[in-house]
Amino acid sequence: MDSFNPTPNAGTKQVINGQLRVFYEGYWVKAYDTPVDTLQAKKYLIEALARRLFNHVEHGINIPGKRLGEARAAFEGEADPERRRIKGAMLAGALFNRAIDIFTKLVELQSLGVQIDPDNSLMRECGLCLREALDLGRLVLHRSGEEGIDELWGEPFKAFSVPLESFYESRYLKIAQTMRDIDRIAANMVATFGNHPFFADIARRISIFAEAAKVKSETLRTDPNIFDVWTEFVVAGDMLVSLKPDLPAHPSDREHRECERALQLLRHGRDLLVYITRARTCMPKSTAEYIEMCKDFQRESSFNSPLVSSVARSAH
């Protein structure tokens, strides 16, 4: 490993093992070259952020921008709170797509030699659509149904309104925070199951999965290593939940129930780590609820001997 400052400032960049990395929140995050700041580059970025957003949120809200008027009328005419939430989510999707439609046409005009100034009326309209989508995005749930991820709606507006260099630096910070929560969740899983007699080898499997999750969270889909990175991540997750519990020869009803609950909690933890890793952003509500479920299991377990591991200590 190349030498580096052990206590760097946030945003410090360093080549480590031949790879450029940037330091945030105690993590050296893999860094990539920032594209030249042009409308074309912003168009590609916002389109990628749109695909990412619709890939992670609840189904049915990817409404074409040309149906914005219909979506707004449906939302404004709805009084029932739950139905209004869903129609508000659909309006957010339509606003998001309308902004992309406008931005795409502006880039096409620019490619024909038309000068597009920042105060252009269509640029202002694009910004207004993204801002309103951000406000309504708070109504939208993650596909898990557990909570929304405001960051997914905020990123497109940020990509539109700030220099690309600033946008990418903010993303590195979010990825570092994601890595921190991956470690927190993994530490609580180890503390909950690491010494449980039903689950020999579980601590090692959790550790492998957490490391694979952190690598995946910092790796772009365009990275040449994505084929190996994604494969390692999926296989590690499968290995975590495929572990067969080591039950006694004649388990009691309570042991059966505890085993089933433990398996459900392990699957829940694996799924939560998958959600966070793929979205590359934190899910604070779901994380806090899962950690509380782990603590409940520890308190109620017939084998109440939580493992105080170096992983658990490092998470606090």
186 and 206 Cβ atoms separated by less than 8 Å? yes
Q: How would residue 46 be classed by pLDDT, with cut points 50, 70 and 90?
A: confident
Q: Which tens digit of pLDDT belongs to each residue from 263-295?
A: 999 999 999 999 999 989 899 999 999 999 999
Co-location of 152 and 204 in the same domain: no
For 31-48, what is the mean pLDDT?
88
Q: 23 lies in a domain?
A: no
Co-location of 52 and 120 in the same domain: yes
Q: 122 lies in a domain?
A: yes
Q: 295 lies in a domain?
A: yes
89 and 143 Cβ atoms separated by less than 8 Å? no
Co-location of 148 and 182 in the same domain: no
Say if residue 3's pLDDT is above 60.
Answer: no
The lowest-confidence range among 147-156, 170-179, 190-199, 232-241 is 147-156
Residues 190 and 201: their CA atoms lie apart, in Å, by: 10
Residues 234 and 144: their CA atoms lie apart, in Å, by: 18
Co-location of 242 and 134 in the same domain: no
- The number of distinct structural domains making up the chain is 2
pLDDT for the residue numbered 286: 92
Greatest mean pLDDT among 3-7, 136-140, 308-312 lies in 136-140
Neighbours of 218 (CB within 10 A): 24
pLDDT for the residue numbered 31: 95
Please give the DSSP secondary-structure letter assigned to residue 118. Answer: T
Domain end marker among 130, 162, 194: 162
Say if residue 309's pLDDT is above 60.
Answer: no
Q: 132 lies in a domain?
A: yes
Q: Which tens digit of pLDDT belongs to each residue from 188-223?
A: 999 999 888 888 889 999 999 999 999 999 999 899
pLDDT for the residue numbered 160: 81
| Angle between helices 39-56 and 150-161 in degrees, nearest 10 | 170
For 221-245, what is the mean pLDDT?
94
9 and 3 Cβ atoms separated by less than 8 Å? no
Say if residue 163's pLDDT is above 50.
Answer: yes
Domain end marker among 127, 162, 197: 162
Co-location of 216 and 114 in the same domain: no
For 295-309, what is the mean pLDDT?
66
Co-location of 180 and 287 in the same domain: yes
Co-location of 152 and 172 in the same domain: no
3 state SS for 158-169: HHHHCCHHHHHH
Q: 25 lies in a domain?
A: no
Co-location of 171 and 303 in the same domain: yes
Domain end marker among 162, 183, 217: 162
For 230-246, what is the mean pLDDT?
93
Residues 2 and 17: their CA atoms lie apart, in Å, by: 6
Q: To which H or E segment does residue 40 belong?
A: helix 39-56
Co-location of 47 and 187 in the same domain: no
For 238-243, what is the mean pLDDT?
92
Q: 3 lies in a domain?
A: no
Q: 20 lies in a domain?
A: no
Q: To which H or E segment does residue 16 belong?
A: strand 13-16
Co-location of 228 and 158 in the same domain: no
pLDDT for the residue numbered 154: 77
Picking from 201, 191, 182, 188, the residue whose alpha carbon sits closest to that of residue 240 is 201
User: Can you give the residue range of the structural domain that contains 265?
Assistant: 165-314
Co-location of 148 and 189 in the same domain: no
For 46-62, what is the mean pLDDT?
88
Co-location of 270 and 251 in the same domain: yes
Q: 8 lies in a domain?
A: no
Residue 282 identity (one-letter amino acid): C
pLDDT for the residue numbered 5: 53
